[in-house]
Structure 1
Amino acid sequence: MGCFLVLNAYAGENQETAAKKLALMFRMAPQQAQSIIDKVSKGQVWRFQNEVSDRQAVVAENYLKAIGFQVERSGQAQEETYQIAETVDLSDDADLAVAPAAVASPGEKPQQTLQKSPSKALAAQSPSGKSLHFGFHGTGGGLLKIQLVNWILSMVTLGIYYFWGKTKERRYLWEQMSFTGDRFFYHGTGKELFKGMMIFNLLFIALAAGLAVVENMVGPQMSGVVNGALVLAILVAIPAILVGAYRYRLSRTAWRGIRFSFRGSRKEAIGLYVKGFLLTLFTLGLYWPYFTIARRTFWMRNSHFGNQNIQYEGDGKDIFTQFMISVLLVPLTFGIYWFWYKAFLARYNWSRTRFAGGTFNFSATGGQMLTLNLVNMLLLVVTLGLAYPWVMVRNLSFVTQHLTIDANMRLDKVVQDAKQSGALAEGAVDGMDIDMDFGI
């Protein structure tokens, strides 16, 4: 398996010395090496053109890290690259021999790491008064190819390949998304999902077996109570599973070499959801707007990019009136007004969301959301579902086209501070088919 090397940040002390070492290692002109360092130092991403083997990647990574670069591996070439070093040769036939002191062996630790100051490469700011934009560069055809291979191999392997296929699909979607022109990266693996699903299945079987033993001990007259306890246990476990799944996905997502993370606890999620559903039930639905904001607050405030968390300041009373209007108009309009309420809620939520001093803005209207969904439905009906990849691409493109952040956001203080997260809960979500959509 090969990969592409990507330079996300530079935090070395001596650019002139680093340029000489870069030119020596990759057989490029000193001016080109200096240009690469200048651009990466300003926050631009540099992707090497040629695919390399894992063996070559280890050697090159250690060398690049030792001279001050933060390096990522990308699993596949992208349709749109950033800055390409046309003369660089990283093929297996290339001679990577360098001075022994300059390159750390695969088992050794590089002389310096970038985690202490990647902020130097993240400090590039947009001009004052301008918005920072998201983008999506994928195509329905590209996604369809991945899904077709996934479907075929999943059938051939009796479903085992599903987890690897899902990872490839997710990696494609992640890496086709960009912010200020720089792509996101997904680091999850199919092995992690498969292992998580196997562990979850074993836990579920053990729970079911334990309840069966209890049912046999108490007799058939108590079977209803036992089954009810099982259902209740599953419902209570859903928030905990969602937390684990969301934590896993964020921990495997990176931008400019800095990873995302989620710091919320399962206990807090269970308490929030149990309280929210009970109060909504007892108030005949009137508590739902407050529960909506409480959920959003939990997911946003516990989400981090590097060492900085997302701030969210919402209040249920701000959306209560619109919620009541939607309760009245959605049935009268045969569901059409739901898109106007959904657009209002998305605009409200993003306008109350801030990160590193910048405020998000979502500009979509109810009419635009209605048009998007009507066209999507028409595509699915006419093609008997074959247009689903195009529908996914349309949805992601719609969100990225309407979502921006004002240029007051400062990334110069963001440093890597992500925590590791396992895939157990992610496997549980796949097994139980729980919707992970927390809203636009």
Structure 2
Amino acid sequence: MNAPATLPAFDVPPLNPDELPFEFSGSGGAYFKIWIVNLLLSIVTLGLYSPWAKVRRERYFMGNTLLDGSAFDYHADPVKILKGRLLVMAAIVVLNIAAEFNPLFNLVVMVLFAVLLPWMISRALRFRAHNTSWRGLRFAFDGLTWEAAKAWVLWPIAGVLSAGILFPFALANQRRYLFNHLRFGQAAFDIDLPVGPVYRVFGRVALLALVYVAVLVALGFVLGGPLDLFASGAMGQGGGREVFGLYLMLAMLALYVGFALIAPYVSACMANLSFNRANLQNHGFFSDMVAGRYVFIVLTNWLLTALTLGLYRPFAVVRLWRYRVEHLALLPAGTLTAFMAVQAEEARVIGEEAADLLDVDLGF
């Protein structure tokens, strides 16, 4: 029998795809059930259930976040989280009581908090990394307290003293601290993030803020005349003052909302900037969130949460998480099977020598 001239074509997935997108398989309805139970049990137990609530929440989001068909996992022990939170709460209560007896002690409390904050940040990052895994292999974080102090205390103080001019240095140093000390197994993450692109993000933010304020001022002039006529004709002099007060309140609310949306805009831009300049050994990342779309999601989440008296909150969290996850991809330099095999072997050799440093979560 003669073979056919042409063979049927089959779609065979490549061994080394150019891009592996992250996926999220959860839903707002499913998370709502977890959220409402967590909320009720936390209220009934006066907050003592909150560590178990955190673990259930993290396991849901990690378990529904997929890469190459495999989900992430979260392994934290709620009892250890409770120990850390009770420790922090006890310290806060003691310091507040001491401050009542000596008002000058408030200054000591502020200084002590600034000193302890970097240590708490590094501990929290270690705890979270150690308790997160993918395909059975855990993450790790080895950032030092002094480096956290520079990124989260010294540079932000410099930003305040410089009227915001040095804030991009703070953000750039924080991202370097997060990525350059993170490992997956024994494979190290790294990031090449100069401060120039961060300044460009802040430049766009400044320009958008100026445009926004200019639009509000223009609307004020346009609506000022009709408001005055309405007030004087229908409500009298006293009514004019009331209308002016209402207009001033609305203008302040618009300013507050506009400037509150700066944070999510910067967050989206910095996520793109960070992931697109980060690597895991030879593997790269690609993030393509649209900052305007991200801000729109945040704004509508706020509105829907307010209109539903908070019941939309779990749907809002899922909606935002899904957008972040589904606009992120891994750019593999080789097969992940071989990469995982090497990392698993090295992890068995290294062992759990630092486990004693990861016994509590301080709640940050």
User: Shared topology, TM-score over 0.5?
Assistant: yes
The correspondence for 1:166, drawn from 48, 54, 63, is 54
| Misfit runs of 4+, over 6 Å | none
Distance 1:378 1:188, change over 3 A: same
Q: Greater CA deviation, 332-341 or 152-161?
A: 332-341
CA distance in 2, matches of 1:337, 1:188: 33
CA 1:247–1:320 in structure 2 vs 1: closer, same or farther (change >3 Å)? same
Instruction: Write out aligned runs for 1:294-313 (5 A).
Output: 294-313=173-192
1:280 and 2:159 equivalent? Answer: yes
Assess, with a 3 A threshold, how the Cα gap between structure 1 residues 207 and 155 changes in structure 2: closer, same or farther: closer
AA aligned to 1:154 is S
Call closer, same or farther: CA 1:201–1:337 in 2, change over 3 Å: closer
User: Residue by residue, what CA displacement relative to the aligned partner does 1:240-262 show, whole Å, maximum 9, x if unpaired?
Assistant: 21221121111111111101111
Relative to structure 1, the CA distance from residue 330 to residue 188 in structure 2 (aligned partners, 3 Å threshold; closer, same or farther) is same
Contact in 1 for aligned 2:114/2:153 (Cα 8 Å): no
Superposed displacement of residue 371, structure 1: 3.0
Pair 1:184 & 2:72 matched: yes
How far off its partner does 1:129 sit?
Answer: 4.9
Q: Which residue of 1 aligns with 2:5?
A: none
Deviates more, 1:161-170 or 1:290-299: 161-170
Name 2:358's counterpart in structure 1.
422
TM-score (norm 2): 0.73
The percent identity for this pair of structures is: 25
> CA 1:388–1:126 in structure 2 vs 1: closer, same or farther (change >3 Å)?
farther
Equivalent-residue separation in structure 1 for 2:68 and 2:210 (angstroms): 41
The structural deviation recorded for 1:224 is: 4.6
**Higher helix residue share:** 2
Letter in 2 for 1:427: L
In structure 1, distance between residues paired with 2:127 and 2:14: 31
Q: Distance in 1 between matches of 2:27 and 2:211?
A: 37
Q: Measured at CA, do residues 241 and 331 of structure 1 come closer, stay the same or move farther in structure 2, by a change above 3 Å?
A: farther
Q: In structure 2, give the amino acid aligned to 1:322.
A: V
Please name the residue that 2:82 is paired with. 194
Give the Cα separation in 2 of the matches to 1:126 and 1:283.
52
Task: State whether structure 2 residue 114 is matched by structure 1 residue 226.
Answer: no
2:201 aligns to what SS in structure 1?
helix
Structure 2 residue 38 is the aligned partner of structure 1 residue 157: no
Return the alpha-carbon distance in structure 1 between the equivalents of residues 132 and 55 of structure 2: 12
TM-score normalised according to structure 1 size: 0.61
Q: In the aligned structure 1, how far is the partner of 2:55 from the partner of 2:129?
A: 14
Q: Is the 8 A contact 2:186 2:343 kept in 1?
A: yes
* Contact 2:118-2:153 within 8 A present in 1 as well: no
Q: Give the drift of 1:227.
A: 1.4
Matches within 5 A, 1:258-337: 258-333=137-212, 334-335=258-259
Cα-Cα RMSD: 2.5
Deviation, structure 1 residue 190: 1.4
Alpha-carbon distance in 2 for matches of 1:345, 1:382:
30
Contact 1:244 / 1:423 at 8 angstroms: preserved in 2?
no
- Give CA deviations for 1:349-369 in whole Å, capped at 9, x if unaligned: 111110121111111112321
Counterpart for residue 289 of structure 2: 364
Distance 1:325 1:172, change over 3 A: closer
Pair 1:231–1:329, CA change in 2 (3 A): same
Cα shift readout 1:178-223 (whole Å, capped 9, x = no counterpart): 11110111111211111122233344455556x56xx96xxxxxx4
**How many Å separate the matches in 1 of 2:49 and 2:17?**
48
Distance 1:159 1:266, change over 3 A: same
Residue aligned with 2:309, SS? coil
Question: Match of 1:385?
Answer: 310
Aligned to 1:175: 63
- Matches of residues 239-258 of structure 1 in structure 2 within 5 Å? 239-258=118-137
In the TM superposition, what is the alpha-carbon distance from 1:329 to its structure 2 partner? 2.1
The Cα shift of 1:130 comes to 1.9
Structure 2 vs 1, CA of residues 347 and 161 (structure 1 numbering), >3 Å: closer, same or farther? closer
CA–CA distance in structure 1, aligned partners of residues 268 and 95 of structure 2 = 41
TM superposition shift of 1:325: 3.2
- 1:264 Cα deviation from its structure 2 partner: 0.6
- Specify the alignment match of 1:408 in structure 2: 333
State the 1:172 CA deviation: 1.4
Identify the structure with bigger relative contact order (alpha carbons < 8 Å, sequence gap 6+): 2
- Unaligned 5+ segments in structure 2 are 1-12, 213-257
- The answer to whether the 8 A contact 2:131-2:139 is kept is yes
Deviations 1:13-56 (A, max 9, x none): xxxxxxxxxxxxxxxxxxxxxxxxxxxxxxxxxxxxxxxxxxxx
2:27 pairs, out of 132, 139, 143, with: 139
C-alpha distance in 1, partners of 2:150/2:267?
26
Quick one: which amino acid aligns to residue 15 of structure 2?
A: P
CA contact (8 A) 2:264 2:298 kept: no
Letter in 1 for 2:178: W
Q: CA deviation at 1:236?
A: 2.9
